Structure 1
Amino acid sequence: MSNKKKIVLAEDNSTLSLLLKFRLQKEGYDLFIAADGKQAIELIEEHTPELILSDIMMPYISGLEVISHVRNKLEMKVPIIVFSAAGQEEMVLKAFNLGANDFMGKPFSPNELVIRVKRLLSS
């Protein structure tokens, strides 16, 4: 049994997913990648991650619906960081109202993300 912290990453941009996976695995995290919100919910239910990273705009099920599912249906307190393209303030506010812990506007620095992940996982 691995004692690595598990992270579910929900991102429909495969290039960004691979970059973040590489960067976070280098830091010692176990990563599970979902290409859409539906897959994200399946991975969250299967692996019970210590942290969730989610894009807001995704096919099938949005990041907002993922947050809502995690907080209301699964009743998990797991930290959630959402990201979204700039200029979507309304979406960001909705994400926080649904229970997101942090937000990053795209494009963002993978190094900054790592710092935010470490901060949320150490508290």
Structure 2
Amino acid sequence: MTKKKIVLAEDNSTLSLLLKFKLEKEGYQLFIAKDGKEAIELIEANEPQLILTDIMMPFISGLEVISHVRNKLNLEIPIVVFSAAGQEEMVLKAFNLGANDFMGKPFSPNELLIRVKRLLG
């Protein structure tokens, strides 16, 4: 059985590693990007089944990642966005651009896992 691929775009390396550990333990294959630019490269190279992205990142934001996936690549894959408190406007923009789900930071990795499983069936 091929592992489902997930691209995680998150500039906090502690959180990335924690999520990588959690998700790989559940049998997913994880590709980690430190910023939106890297995320786009990983998405184009690996054709993941799911994208997890922080909204606020250096260089290219999570919003630009969503826009690129939906408009340039025309992909329908599920996208979950993370955002720190007080960024409601950003979150609404993310949904308007085509995000499927949202998690406020800080969040529980176990809750994220439940959402990932739900989105990946």
TM (norm. structure 2) is 0.99
Aligned to 1:118: 117
State the AA in 2 paired with 1:118. K
- Identity in percent: 83
- The answer to whether structure 1 residue 19 and structure 2 residue 24 are counterparts is no
Aligned to 2:88: 89
CA RMSD of aligned residues (A): 0.6
The ranges of structure 1 where at least 4 consecutive aligned residues each deviate by more than 6 angstroms after the TM superposition are none
SS at match of 2:81: strand
TM (norm. structure 1) is 0.97
> What is the alpha-carbon distance in structure 1 between the residues aligned to residue 7 and residue 47 of structure 2?
9
State the shift of 1:58 in Å: 0.2
State the shift of 1:44 in Å: 0.1
SS at match of 1:32: strand
Aligned to 1:4: 3
Aligned to 1:31: 30
Any stretches of 5+ residues in structure 2 without a counterpart? none
SS at match of 1:44: helix
Aligned to 1:78: 77
Aligned to 1:69: 68
> What is the alpha-carbon distance in structure 2 between the residues aligned to residue 39 and residue 52 of structure 1?
13
Any stretches of 5+ residues in structure 1 without a counterpart? none
SS at match of 2:91: helix
State the shift of 1:95 in Å: 0.2
Aligned to 1:53: 52
SS at match of 2:3: coil
